Structure 1
Amino acid sequence: MAQRADELRSTKGLKGAAKLAKELEACAEAIDQLDGIDGEVARAVHRIVSDEAPHLNPKTFYGFPAYAANGKVVIFVQPKSKFDTRYPTVNFDETANLDDGDMWATSFAVVNVTDAVQDRIRTLVRKAVR
């Protein structure tokens, strides 16, 4: 919670391009601080979002690299190091268009960044922002 409060304070009073630049800088710093599989996943997601959904704005969300539309987070990466878990996850918030019937996944564990994994993330990002 403290990280989220800091994120909000860091952009308080900023608007437009200045706010977007500050949020991009925070996202890049969050990614740069990640090692191992956490960094691999975050960098892959960043590349994929930049290619497939350049209209999403990079930012941080509770200290995690995230991407938002109209100020609302659509996608974020939760590093395994943050909670000492076995794997990082790629997560889609409720604004993502992943709806599929009565139940669908919004969080995906990643243990290795392979071409197939990147293709799957790319497909999910496309669907999330359609």
Structure 2
Amino acid sequence: MAEKKTSEVFSAEEKAAMKEAAAERKAQAKAKDKRAAGTKAVRDAIEKLEGDDRKLAERFYELVSENAPDLVPKTYYGMPGFANADDKMLVFLQPASKFKVRYSTIGFEQASALDDPPMWPTSWGITAWTASGEKAFLATLTKAQG
């Protein structure tokens, strides 16, 4: 009999992210104060990060909190992010360590108002915050909120 080959459809990191997403959704559904629960979850997610990932995530959290106070902190597959008033994820930071890739990304989800047909960017690679990078991010964040 031929040896059965197995193939991994999802990496261990992807499986862990899916489990985190399920746990997040359950916790968020039970939370009476979405902002407080989300803030704690996001701060906890950032605390788990190390090195450059943590620096990037801390500044991401500060920038969004200060410049988009209507957005609610919310984890997204275990990553720090922010949701709109409809509880839809708007923006998140994917640390490089999350999926063992070479750079972090800032992503804008479907709820963002970035549509500029026929084509527009929805994520940026980031290795460090600079003054010009922060300015560009904040302009995009403002546009994304509609």
Percentage identity across paired residues of the two chains: 36
Higher relative CO (CA 8 A, sep ≥ 6), structure 1 or 2?
Answer: 1
How is 1:1-130 mapped onto 2 (pairs within 5 angstroms)? 1-15=18-32, 18-69=33-84, 70-130=86-146
TM-score (norm 1): 0.91
- Measured after TM superposition, the shift of residue 95 of structure 1 is 0.8
Distance 1:14 1:31 in 2: 20
Distance 1:87 1:61 in 2: 18
TM-score (norm 2): 0.82
* Secondary structure of the corresponding residue to residue 30 of structure 2: coil
Distance 2:113 2:70 in 1: 15
Instruction: Figure out how many residues of one structure are paired with residues of the other and give that number.
Output: 128
> Which of the pair has more CA radius of gyration?
2
Structure 1 stretches (4+) deviating beyond 4 angstroms?
A: none
RMSD: 1.2
Of the structure 1 ranges 85-94 and 30-39, higher mean CA displacement relative to structure 2 is found in 30-39
Distance 2:125 2:28 in 1: 31
Q: Specify every segment of 5 or more residues in structure 2 that has no aligned partner in the other structure, as ranges.
A: 1-17
Distance 1:49 1:101 in 2: 26
Q: Specify every segment of 5 or more residues in structure 1 that has no aligned partner in the other structure, as ranges.
A: none
Distance 2:69 2:110 in 1: 19
